[in-house]
Structure 1
Amino acid sequence: MATRTPWRRSVQVWTLVTWLSHVSAAPNILFIMADQFRYDLIDPVRTPHLHGLRRQGATFLRHYSSTPSCTPARAAILTGRSPWRHGMLGYGAVAERYPQEVARSMAAAGLRTSVVGKNHFGWNRTSGRPIAHEFSELQIYDGLGNGFKNGSEFDDYDRWFQQRMPGQDPLASGGLDWNSWRGAPYEYSERLHPTAWTGQSARRVLSSLSRASAKAAQPFFLKVSFHRPHSPYDPPARLLNITPSPVRPPARASDGWDSRFRECSAQGSRDAWCGEVDHDSLSMARRSYQASISFVDEEIGSILGLMGELGILGNTFILFTSDHGDMQMDHFLWRKSYPYEGSAHIPLLMKWPDNMQADFVDRGSVISAVTELRDLYPTFLDLVGEWNTSHEAEFDGRPLTWLLRRGGAAGARAAKWRQWVDLEHDICYNETNHWNALTDGATKFIFHACSGEEQLFDLVRDPGETRDVSKDAERFEQVKRWRQRLIAQFDAEGRGPEWVQHGILQRRCSSCLYSPNYPGPTADCHKASTQGDLAVV
């Protein structure tokens, strides 16, 4: 056996010390998601713990999900790219591998990567395991199965549930289903609820990560992803009973633009995407959704409480967001995949470690720049010291920390932040729901592909989008300017004549679920938007 020279040993020791100093300098990162969580439902009463994060950190007022349904939103988080560049223009299958992925980068930077809850990255039926996308530890509940052996998926929560309630259906409450708009109390003990399981699992993983981190001086990247308040709206009766019917009624158009959704062929069915419902059913649905949010907030509070007990809260960067919102009957619409605020506008809260305070804005600050899910991955890279200008061509997102840091170079970068963000969704629920949009958070321009109709909303004066001002004479030049911005985007992305011809927006009802940039065998812009077992939207 060859002996190691003192020179080699010193090099190895120097390398180890350098690596340890690098990883110990990086904060822990706790990335919390709640699926289908609207932007406007965080307050001191309903969500005291999320409200606490808002007071102790920063609120991003104009944060959006570019393609507001589950899988394309998660592709944006996974890759740091825009819809056209990661390739998912609607609800389809997340590719099995991308050239760059957030967990891979975090691991390369020396962080231990774990995920608890909903990933929605797909399931390998042969191995009976989820597609990991390089997370090293996974405890998954995607909401796609029931734990029965003849089901399409049999994830960690479903197995756990079946061990405690053999032969029972975890989705049995109230006759609801994955996409139901109706609400009902959870019929089992609340400790069996997916929200409780996600919180319990996260606390168990945190305890393990804390012990491991103390031994190896290795920070962690933990994603905790709650499935709820995504339907079924099935909160514990304890919370449902104390949740009043919302005072504010659902948004309605003053000029009648949303009357087309008041009645539809799906109306009345349990998974209807549109149509007016009776007062009592509407009240129960909205109460159940908001009580589901309160339950998620309780579990987040328990997670943060444990972190305080473990002594790791002060050295952890915390980010909370959602993949998309929920229309909650605004404009007679349910769920997501729409360009309107209830669907595409989502919350974003951040709280940073104590040792970053000198460089960051005051706690409780509000950030008004327009941001999107593509910005999360660059933010995580910046936190661990791995973002540099060479990344700018690889990502469409930028580090949100630019908007948090005070003055100097960070201020100059923040001054160059994007002025607006692109939104789009391929056909979903019905053939007319097919659109592109742009927004700066103050104005929103929408192009409906099937009809060629345009809409313009003044979000400052009219945050509920109750009046389409696109036909107002004084808005003619403004509409033209936004239209030209969308045309310029399509040209810059090289979308071709199916999108722009002779300076005119095209498309009509030609489906385009995947762009040519999608890294998989279905990279075909003419694929129909149905993907086998993808039952939950």
Structure 2
Amino acid sequence: MPDHPRKVLLISADQWRAECLSAIGHPVVKTPHLDALAAESVLFKRHYTTCAPCGPARTSLLTGLYLMNHRSGRNGTPLDARFTNLAYEVRKAGYDPTLFGYTDTSQDPRGRAPNDPALKTYEGVMPGFTVGLPFPDHMMPWIADLKAKGYRFNDRSDVYKPRQDVSLPADRGHSFLPTIFKAEDSETAFMADTVLKWLSVRQNQDWFVHCVFLRPHPPVIAPEPYNALYDPTDVSMPRRKATPEEEAAQHPHLKLWIDHFREHSSYDEHNPYNLVTMDELNLRQMRATYYAMITQVDDQIGRIIAHLKATGEYESTLIIFTCDHAEMGGDHYTWGKETYFDQSFHIPLIIRDPRRTSDNGRGRQIDLFTESVDIMPTILDWLGSDIPAQCDGRSLLPFLEGNAPVDWRDEVHYEVDFRYTPNLPGLDAETWLGLKPDDCYLTVIRDRRYKYVHFATLPPLFFDLTQDPDEMNNLAEQAEQAPILLRYAQKMLSWRMRHADRTLTNLHLGKQGVFDGRQRHLIS
């Protein structure tokens, strides 16, 4: 094995719940390839994204910044061009960072002409990346590939329609119906195929690949044979109260989303059912098909890892598997990722460090809290590169080497900006809740015992996770909880004070030139 491995593979899926790994004992879903990777890696069991949805979450992942600092809070909110990012930083180390997929980065409009195509989409690319395969929502490269193979359909709106020549068995729900395309021709296989072709001629080169799989993001439909992989009778029902009305009474923000999911095609295109009131069979089937999409991604990740092993590159490649955010999956009568519940934010993280110095860490499962903003500092630390002052996260390298970092966090934080966006016109919190745009914001602090949710203007929420792990009972209005709630509100304020933008804060100018106060402490 080389003394200085110089390859990085950052794999990201979309909308993958942390629990959905058989390596940590999920009772249904099977992920054998990620399980095998985890056995030689470090698996972080309490890993959280710091914001949702996709664009904001990937911005935090790739800039190391909390949402409160990068402020690109919606799919379509521009990212300030002043920030550096992972792609820019690894270029300094001699890489040409190559993206396969998408980052949903909305470009800074300042200095651009009004008709610049970059201002006509929220699906731009994080600056600094070379694009090996663009995969925005229109999916044109993949759709062109399908049509070249003889598939017949009109356009993107038809590609996920279920096959019409398959009869629905009595014990299966609607999402059992398979796609019109075969598994080997799916968007998931197309992504892996493209990455493998690119890798096939670069075995003797240093490279940095960011591979982004769309799945298990909706629509909830899978190709054969994955559509039949999991029996809905083996799938548990969502965690929720007896009725959607009882659930919605917890908070106006929750009611907002429950009402939204009553609308047709609000989440899952071509699904004929009301997602709030659908029957038990169809509900279980949707969750079973979601698991099937996960297993399909796992199979394609297995192909990429098998290639690295066959070429000998496995022993010189830092491999990271994670995702942007998670998925409600019907819990609390909601779907997607923009509520305040853990199911939207608790995500997987597996890191394999090939260096011999990390042999003591292999196979460990870390039960401490980690956050998506830790990924950029970890990669840069592994490369021996400087970690920018803007980064809110910390390097996970000590965990990989079998050590326990000093003064590690004992809580996680995440945020949601839910102001109106024309990219999601059916959900208008400003109108429905009578809020101003800057009022549409929530932030969460969560440790092992308690969870506090603060809204800019709406009432707060407070949960005792020991007694109420499913977050069913809001304790914020109980008088006896007031001292604890106050303590968590103060902890949240302290967190925000410590992490407010400090790009130049620790620099001091004097007779000796620029002095960096960070160098006096063992912090990143």
TM-score scaled by length of structure 1: 0.75
Q: Which of 230, 247, 251 lines up with 2:235 in the alignment?
A: 247
Gap change, CA 1:268 and 1:122, over 3 Å in 2: closer
How far apart in 2 are the matches of 1:171 and 1:49? 32
Matched, 1:478 2:465: no
Matched, 1:141 2:135: yes
Contact 1:67 1:344 in 2 (8 A): yes
The aligned residue for residue 271 of structure 2 is none
Q: Which of 195, 204, 224 lines up with 2:197 in the alignment?
A: 204
For 1:327, the aligned partner's letter is M
SS in 2 for 1:306: helix
For 2:85, the aligned partner's letter is E
How far apart in 1 are the matches of 2:8 and 2:145? 27
Distance apart, 1:494 and its partner CA:
6.7
Contact 2:11 2:321 in 1 (8 A): yes
The aligned residue for residue 400 of structure 1 is 396
Give matches, 1:351-366, under 5 Å. 351-358=352-359, 360-361=360-361, 363-366=362-365
CA-to-aligned-CA distance 1:37-59 (integer Å, 9 cap, x gap): 11111115511111222222111
Distance apart, 1:99 and its partner CA:
2.8
The aligned residue for residue 258 of structure 1 is 247
Q: Which of 168, 173, 178 lines up with 2:154 in the alignment?
A: 168
The aligned residue for residue 39 of structure 1 is 18
Distance apart, 1:434 and its partner CA:
4.3
Q: Which of 14, 25, 43 lines up with 2:4 in the alignment?
A: 25
How far apart in 2 are the matches of 1:379 and 1:397? 9
Matched, 1:230 2:230: no
**RMSD between superposed Cα atoms in Å:** 3.1
Contact 1:456 1:479 in 2 (8 A): no
Give matches, 1:519-534, under 5 Å. none
Distance apart, 1:485 and its partner CA:
1.7
Give matches, 1:320-469, under 5 Å. 320-358=321-359, 360-361=360-361, 363-387=362-386, 391=388, 393-407=389-403, 411=404, 414-427=405-418, 429-431=427-429, 434-458=441-465, 460=466, 462-469=468-475
Contact 1:61 1:348 in 2 (8 A): yes
Deviates more, 1:332-341 or 1:257-266: 257-266
Distance apart, 1:370 and its partner CA:
1.4
Distance apart, 1:121 and its partner CA:
2.6
Gap change, CA 1:58 and 1:118, over 3 Å in 2: same
How far apart in 1 are the matches of 2:448 and 2:187? 33
How far apart in 1 are the matches of 2:44 and 2:148? 41
Gap change, CA 1:430 and 1:185, over 3 Å in 2: farther
Contact 2:230 2:288 in 1 (8 A): yes
For 1:438, the aligned partner's letter is I
Contact 2:237 2:284 in 1 (8 A): no
Gap change, CA 1:94 and 1:42, over 3 Å in 2: farther
Deviates more, 1:258-267 or 1:97-106: 258-267
Give matches, 1:297-316, under 5 Å. 297-316=298-317
Contact 1:90 1:427 in 2 (8 A): yes
Matched, 1:269 2:293: no
The aligned residue for residue 165 of structure 2 is none
Q: How many residues matched? A: 443
Deviates more, 1:200-209 or 1:69-78: 200-209
SS in 2 for 1:30: strand
CA-to-aligned-CA distance 1:319-349 (integer Å, 9 cap, x gap): 1111001100001110011221110111111
Gap change, CA 1:58 and 1:146, over 3 Å in 2: closer
Gap change, CA 1:188 and 1:494, over 3 Å in 2: closer
For 2:482, the aligned partner's letter is F
- Gap runs ≥5 in structure 2: 24-28, 108-115, 163-172, 269-274, 420-426, 434-439, 502-524
- Gap runs ≥5 in structure 1: 1-22, 148-155, 214-218, 496-537
The aligned residue for residue 16 of structure 1 is none
CA-to-aligned-CA distance 1:204-259 (integer Å, 9 cap, x gap): 12212214x1xxxxx21111110111111221121111212243221124899724
How far apart in 1 are the matches of 2:331 and 2:4? 46
Gap change, CA 1:228 and 1:494, over 3 Å in 2: closer
Contact 2:218 2:267 in 1 (8 A): no
Gap change, CA 1:266 and 1:113, over 3 Å in 2: closer
How far apart in 1 are the matches of 2:5 and 2:407? 26
The aligned residue for residue 318 of structure 1 is 319
Distance apart, 1:289 and its partner CA:
1.0
Matched, 1:190 2:183: yes
How far apart in 1 are the matches of 2:208 and 2:139? 29
How far apart in 2 are the matches of 1:56 and 1:442? 31
For 1:78, the aligned partner's letter is L
Gap change, CA 1:278 and 1:448, over 3 Å in 2: farther
Gap change, CA 1:102 and 1:226, over 3 Å in 2: same
How far apart in 1 are the matches of 2:453 and 2:304? 39
CA-to-aligned-CA distance 1:340-364 (integer Å, 9 cap, x gap): 1110111111112052334x42x22
Give matches, 1:111-130, under 5 Å. 111-122=95-106, 125=117
Contact 1:424 1:437 in 2 (8 A): yes
How far apart in 2 are the matches of 1:314 and 1:438? 38
For 2:211, the aligned partner's letter is V
The aligned residue for residue 499 of structure 1 is none
How far apart in 2 are the matches of 1:242 and 1:332? 25
Contact 2:358 2:401 in 1 (8 A): no
Contact 1:423 1:438 in 2 (8 A): yes
Gap change, CA 1:49 and 1:406, over 3 Å in 2: closer
CA-to-aligned-CA distance 1:247-306 (integer Å, 9 cap, x gap): 322112489972446862641512159723221321221122111111101101111111
Distance apart, 1:31 and its partner CA:
0.7
Matched, 1:103 2:75: no
SS in 2 for 1:116: strand
How far apart in 1 are the matches of 2:246 and 2:43? 31
CA-to-aligned-CA distance 1:117-148 (integer Å, 9 cap, x gap): 23223597379995452123421212x1154x
How far apart in 1 are the matches of 2:449 and 2:313? 38
Contact 2:14 2:323 in 1 (8 A): yes
How far apart in 2 are the matches of 1:258 and 1:367? 33
TM-score scaled by length of structure 2: 0.76
